[in-house]
A and B are shown apart, each in its own frame.
Chain A
Amino acid sequence: MSANGTRLLELAGVAKHFGGLYALSGLDMYVDAGEIVSVIGPNGAGKSTMFNVATGLYPPDDGDVRFNGQSIVGLAPNRITKLGLARTFQTVHLFPNMTVLENAMVGQHCRGTSGVVGSVLRLPSTRREEDRIRERAKTALDFFGKRLSGYRQDQPAFALSYANRRRLEMARALATDPILIMLDEPTAGMNPRETLELRDHIVRMRDQLGITVLVIEHDMRVVKGVSDRVIALDYGRKIAEGTYDDVANDPQVIEAYLGTKAVG
């Protein structure tokens, strides 16, 4: 675990375009260990692209991404996850036909080492590892209290309610034992009570588990409630950065969301 205050994730001049569309153009941003950072911006501002570039799903066209002191450009996504960077997706992406517990156990996969021989012979070390994976996955599910506990763990993931599917996605990310967790619109589609509950969970991820959090969020009450720092993106660039109040009152941010006032 990195000491608080050290630079954990750093994007320097990152550019990514799809054909003629520049999703990211020279984005500079960073996350320090122990922070909760929110990323806001209108639709199409490049928030999710930034996530996909940082986690290795897309290679950046230009610039550098550093995580925990090393450049992670060109690494396969599974290597980046193993380094301690976990994520959730904007639209829920579970393994719908696997059980809730198995979903979380997949998260712990990268912390295991048992291979073909161990699995076929069920060596003691493999059995111990399997027990540990199961326990760790259960701990991750228990982070959400009773929501994902008990009989639910043996249900297929598709049987969960929408909010629980979102929670399971976060539990699966937590089960990878991350240093930094990146949440892509975790409250999308949730009702107000669930949203409030989730706000607490985000804070608890840092305070109890010591995980740094980078969150894309549209619900400004959540952003206000959790963020140490807010970064606003538009057209693939950073347009404002600072405390919630600074960013919320930034004229460029207001313009990005509401458009320019007609000069009359």
Chain B
Amino acid sequence: MGVPSRSIWRGGLIGAIAAIYVALVGLYTRFADLELVGEQITLGRLLLVAPALVAAYAVTRPRVVAGERRPVAFGRGVLAGMLTGLVTGAVFAAAVWFAEWFGTDRIREVFIQISDPLIAFLTFDKGVPAGLPILIALSVLGGTVGGLARTAPAQARAPLAVGTLAVLAMALLQRIIPIVFVELGFEADWLYAPSRGLTWFGAALVFVAAAGVNALWHRSGERTRERVRSTIQEAPAAKLGLLVVIIAVLAIMPLLLGTVISEVLGQVMIYVLLGIGLNIVVGYAGLLDLGYVAFFAFGAYTLGLLTGAFLNTTTGAAEPVLSGDLSFYVAIWIVALLAAGLGLLIGAPVLRLRGDYLAIVTLGLGEIVSIITASRWAQPLIGGPQGMRGVTKAEFAGFNFQDNPQHFYYLALAFVILALFISWRLAGSRIGRAWNAMREDEQVAEAMGVSTIRFKLLAFAMGGAIGSLGGALFAVNLGSLTPTSFELLVSITALAVVILGGLGSLPGVVVGALVLIGLPGLLREFEEYRLLIYGGALVAIMILRPQGLIPNVRRSRELHEEEVEQDAWGVAEPDDREAVAAVLPGGGLGVEREDLE
């Protein structure tokens, strides 16, 4: 099976457009000096290869012919990949040439990232046109690798891919892993060049180790793998052991990773809480809530007020009109209870709305809350644009949860475990079943005796309470609150966490938060491209894996409902009808007619 030439042209062009886009947003210049392996492989150069690689990988995908999946043959796949890379490289080189001819200064008036250093980087300091063949050659290389990655024999492909990805991951985590090594008392110099990427030796070692483990795992045969899997899944002792290991790892993680990464982990935990709460509303009950920031803000400010935070003013500090002096450990439960009440309040007016309408109304309600936090009207209570400071440090037995990120991590972890437990128990109960039924068919659930009003409100209340915990912890972590922390982006990020991980899936929420909050936090270099990466990740996930990274079994079925509809629902009916028609003379009504006459 070959690849149609149209496909190669199209894939190559799309690759070139992607490369030009990467150049326009300034990713090449930004990462030109970020060394991954040795001094030669920088992230910038990797990004030169990537568009052709991805395009070739897409072009050589298996094609469905007459209902049959046909993979592309090895040799033809590699050739198609090379050609795709050639198209990408040639078009991109032409664009670079054009930019040089037209004048980078004139282009920069519109696209501010286009500069002479960029052209120098793209032509490997050899200038136009001398450097362009290298650019094209790199694209061809990328395309070849892309073709190989898709069509090479499986037993070779998997270890190579795993090895490469391991090297890439280790190289990107160059700020973190050396710290861990030092904390553990090991030397890291042989693996990482000082404050740079992997050494060539280190990269080779990582590659061999990762590829070797993968190859062994595959060599060990299906039966061994199956045994390991079923032991983990079925034996209660193994399950318990796994849980103990996970908790132990979570517990010692901040000690190993140091304060900087612990702070990132604390942020992740806050979004895990938001995700767990939102997952109840969206994942379990199927109510699309775009105003979830309301609970986050409510939790943060309410905790501040209850624990005696004061307002920022131009002259110093002022007492809010309402203020408590409670301990964090009392206030947090009051916050959750009040937030459940707010959930009922927000839920009540939208009970009759579904789908898009519900989304728009909750979006509006969320905006109202974030506007109130910034308004002068609410200034006597929560400080308006200046916000509040002096939120409790929640000190407890020598732990300081505000100034010490490692300590804060433990506080957040405790609440995450609590929320996970509550959410997990609810999902497996009569309540979870009612939510499920309601999500699948609201009207039928109602007709079967499920009070949809009650369970919608319950979902809003539970989701609101858990989300407010995230807000309260956020307040403790920061110690001061300003309205800029409570904008629409919080709602969007929380929803992205839930969707990326897989709607209705608790492990999915954790993974989603790690990917969307943890990675950008760890890879500070990417901070300014955070939203670009969010967008890219979400688009890729929705196309490649719409059920999320770790899907809930039932939800992933729902997303494939259309196929199911064709496979199971739809087909059976006409068949049965035909069977009846074939046996009964004249079909159903025919009998009536005979009987009546």
Contacts and interface: CB of A to CB of B under 8 A. Distances in A.
Interface of A: 55, 57, 76-79, 81-82, 86-87, 89, 93-98, 102, 105-107, 109-110, 112, 114-116, 119-122, 126, 129-130, 133, 156, 158-163, 172-173, 176, 189-192, 195, 218-221, 224, 248-249, 253-254, 257-258
B450 interface: yes
Interface residues of B, number: 52
Given A248-B596, A258-B596, A220 B573 contact: no
Nearest to B565: A158
Interface of B: 421-422, 425-426, 429-434, 436-437, 440-441, 443-453, 458, 462, 554-555, 557-558, 561, 564, 568-569, 572-573, 575-577, 579-580, 583-584, 588-589, 591-593, 595-597
Contact of A95 (B440, B451, B595): B440
Contact of B434 (A106, A120, A156, A176): A106
B430 A109 contact: yes
Does more than half of chain A's interface fall in helix, strand or loop, or is it mixed? helix
B437 A106 contact: yes
Given A78-B450, A109-B448, A176-B448, A254 B569 contact: no
A191 B576 contact: yes
Given A81-B449, A122-B425, A172-B448, A190 B580 contact: yes
Contacts of A55: 447
B589 A191 contact: no
Nearest to A102: B433
B572 A78 contact: no
A114 B593 CA distance: 52
A192 B430 contact: no
Contacts of B425: 119-122
The 3 closest A-B pairs by CB, nearest first: A110-B449, A119-B429, A162-B572
Does more than half of chain B's interface fall in helix, strand or loop, or is it mixed? helix
A106 B450 contact: yes
Contacts of B575: 162
15 contacts: A76-B446, A76-B451, A79-B451, A95-B444, A95-B445, A98-B437, A98-B440, A106-B450, A126-B429, A126-B430, A162-B575, A191-B576, A248-B595, A254-B597, A257-B592
A119 B576 contact: no
A159 B592 CA distance: 33
A218 B588 contact: yes
B572 to A, nearest CB: 4
Contacts of B458: 116
B443 A130 contact: no
A254 B593 CA distance: 8
Contacts of A191: 576, 579-580, 583
Contacts of B572: 161-162
A83 B597 CA distance: 41
Nearest to A190: B576
A87 B437 CA distance: 16
Contacts of B596: 220, 248-249, 253-254, 257-258
A87 B449 CA distance: 11
B42 to A, nearest CB: 47
A119 to B, nearest CB: 4
B347 to A, nearest CB: 15
Given A120-B425, A219-B591, A57 B443 contact: yes
B576 A189 contact: yes
Contact of B440 (A96, A115, A159): A96
B256 to A, nearest CB: 33
Given A96-B561, A129-B430, 19 more contacts: A78-B447, A93-B441, A97-B440, A102-B433, A106-B433, A109-B450, A110-B450, A116-B426, A116-B462, A119-B432, A122-B425, A126-B429, A158-B569, A161-B572, A162-B573, A221-B591, A253-B596, A254-B597, A258-B593
A130 B444 contact: no
A19 B213 CA distance: 70
A133 to B, nearest CB: 7
Nearest to A250: B596
Contacts of B447: 55, 57, 77-78, 81, 87, 89
Nearest to B590: A220
A220 B591 contact: yes
B579 A114 contact: no
B453 to A, nearest CB: 7
A115 B452 CA distance: 15
Nearest to A161: B572
Contacts of B583: 191-192
Contacts of A81: 447-449
B58 to A, nearest CB: 31
Contacts of A120: 421-422, 425-426, 429
Contacts of A109: 430, 433-434, 437, 448-450
Nearest to B575: A162
B430 A114 contact: yes
A94 to B, nearest CB: 8
Nearest to B451: A78
B448 A107 contact: yes
Contacts of A87: 447
A89 B447 CA distance: 10
B569 A96 contact: yes
A158 B569 CA distance: 7
Contact of B584 (A93, A121, A192, A224): A192
Nearest to A191: B579
A57 B558 CA distance: 25
B444 A158 contact: no
A130 B555 CA distance: 23
Contacts of B453: 76
